[in-house]
Amino acid sequence: MSAGYDEFALLHENAEEFGLRFAGPPPLRRERVEVAPGRGLSALVWGRAEPRLALLHGGAQNAHTWDTVALALELPLVALDLPGHGHSDWRPEHDYWPPLLAEDVAVALARLAPRAELVVGMSLGGLTAICLAAQHPELVRRLAVVDVTPGTDHAKAEPIVSFVSGPEEFASFDEILERTVRFNPTRSRASLRRGVIHNAKPLADGRWTWRYDRMRNWKLGGGDARAPDFASLWPLLDAVKAPLLLVRGGLSGVVGDEDVAELRRRQPRARVEVVAGAGHSVQGDKPLELAALLRAFLTA
């Protein structure tokens, strides 16, 4: 599969599954930005005009998780591969604490989307986006966070941690796909197959492995990735000056009502939306609904 892998060849499937018009691949290219000596961050740039949105995916995902949302929006945007994910280089110390990720993302956005009107982050990307808004407010004019807050802990994220902490290698593509299907009951098999194609790669002996730096090896601020604790990031919300939107998946337990209350205490003007029928990965489960919310927030 890798020998003929064309990362843009499956976009027609995204469009067909969700009833979007598709007259051929849109203007789309992959860019690489050096964020530190010898270490680069990769991104997908949609459209020829200056990007209006910047999209940050969740842990153990990659920029292609936004493909259907990007097709639905029909706006110029950039979708980043976070460090350690997709086609971006791994951090040498395997430290993916959100404030550190935000510094790498800031370098990339300053180059690719310095005037983006909206930064969107999902899960780990959402925590990174909060840090980015606090540390580099000039790059975040509006902020949308998808199904995460600093209140996310091991208990709330347990299904996700269980999935990404599984086997490191698989005997075949079908084996890695079947495990993905078991852990993602809210998603179509076709959608998950596309996701695995973008997020896994074959090894020299024919076995398969993920493209991302293994979460079980991640250092999160000196802590244990198997028991993430992001509570120390709450104060960063106080520094966010940009208008804020929180999108929750209606079927997800990653964000609790107590987290929403704390977010509203720190950001009284924040807008909160719940997408019915969506799990944690709202962009995969209900991409059209998420795109509509983002477009409305962008133009409010």
pLDDT in tens, 273-297: 999 999 999 999 999 999 999 999 9
Question: Do residues 132 and 102 make contact, with C-beta atoms less than 8 angstroms apart?
Answer: yes
Domain-wise residue ranges, the chain = 11-299
Half-sphere exposure of 232 (CA within 13 A, CB side): 9
pLDDT in tens, 226-244: 556 799 999 999 999 999 9
Residue type, 245: L
Lay out the sheet containing 28-36: strands in order across. Answer: 28-36, 39-46, 77-80, 53-56, 118-122, 143-146, 244-249, 271-275
Question: Nearest to residue 66, comparing CAs of 137, 1, 123, 2?
Answer: 123
Residue type, 58: G
Strands (E), 37-122: 39-46, 53-56, 77-80, 118-122
The per-residue pLDDT for 293 is: 98
Class in CATH terms, 11-299? alpha beta
Portion of the chain with pLDDT greater than 70, in percent: 94
Query: Catalytic amino acids?
Result: 123, 147, 280
What mean pLDDT value characterizes the chain? 93
Q: Which residues are within 8 A (CB) of 226 and not within 5 positions of it... i.e. 6 or more apart?
A: 154, 161, 165, 215, 216
Q: How many residues does the chain have?
A: 300
Q: What is the per-residue DSSP string for 197-260?
A: HHHEEE-TTS-EEESSPPGGG-EETTEETTS-B-GGGHHHHHT--S-EEEEEETT--SS-HHHH
Q: Residue 244 is encoded by which pair of tokens? A: 């804020």
Alpha helices in 45-153 (DSSP H): 67-73, 98-112, 124-135
pLDDT in tens, 32-87: 999 999 999 999 999 999 999 999 999 999 999 999 999 999 999 999 999 999 99
